[in-house]
Amino acid sequence: MTITADHGYDDLPRLMSRMTGDEKHDFAATSTLDVLWMLYDRVLDVTPERAEAPDRDRFLLSKGHGPMAYYAVLAAKGFVPEEWLPGFGSYDSPLGHHPDRVLVPGAEIGSGSLGHGLPLAVGGALGLRAQGLTDPAVWVLIGDAELDEGSNHEAIAYAGAAGLDRLHTVVVDNASASHALPGGIAARFEAANWSTATVDGRDHAALYEAFTAPHPGRPHAVVARVEPKNAR
């Protein structure tokens, strides 16, 4: 097994194309690609060598259905070997239709049940604070449809009240929520004392600026808007 980490952004489509089979959830994957790349390439303080380090940044993929972009980025950054990709979703592959933290190097949680990732991230940020680990950042990527789940509403309210300023949420907004007010995602977080930014989810410069914006004393939410799911 050989793991290399010399891939760039332009190589991600090739890496994703190596994953074939049913239940690909292609759009769920491609909607997250730019966000994932910018986080792993320029923001997250975590590497394959430091994947278990106590002071590493944590990234939680709550939008776990259609994880091909996640697997491609993990392969590009050397967390998993590229030769695992063609086996995606097969019986004996560690790369399942939803990531498994026990099987996928670098994965912090097993995901798939919508609405679980943000509460887990809140707990993770609270746990790091309790241990006196103030440097590691906790990032969680969720889909706009997950905000239909009440567990996220409770997590948003608690994190803002607790001032969890090492907590960061990226909401990939592809207009797939059933009960959302269009354009109202950021306002939902702001009402609970979060810092927010809304940007084009394909614009790397805008994503980086939003991801690195200071937010002392408050958690931070970035709404990354991409093509509407039903427009494809």
Q: Find the length of the chain.
A: 232
Residue 199, phi then psi, degrees to nearest 5? -140, 170
202-226 burial string, b = 16+ CB within 10 Å, else e? eebebbbebbeeebeebbbbbbbbb
Q: What is the three-class DSSP state of 72?
A: helix
Angle subtended at Cα 188 by Cα 61 and Cα 101, rounded to the nearest 5 degrees? 10
- The residue-averaged pLDDT of 32-48 equals 97
Lowest-confidence region among 5-14, 142-151, 179-188, 217-226: 179-188
State the residue for tokens 């919508």. Answer: 114
Whether the per-residue pLDDT at 232 is higher than 60: the answer is: no
Give residue-wise pLDDT tens across range 83-105.
999 999 888 999 998 999 999 99
Give residue-wise pLDDT tens across range 162-206.
999 999 999 999 887 766 676 789 999 999 999 999 999 999 999
Neighbours of 152 (CB within 10 A): 23
Dist. CA 232–CA 228, nearest whole Å: 7
Dist. CA 120–CA 125, nearest whole Å: 9
pTM: 0.93
The pLDDT value recorded for residue 27 is 66
The pLDDT value recorded for residue 2 is 45
Report the largest interatomic distance among the alpha carbons of the chain, rounded to a whole angstrom. 49
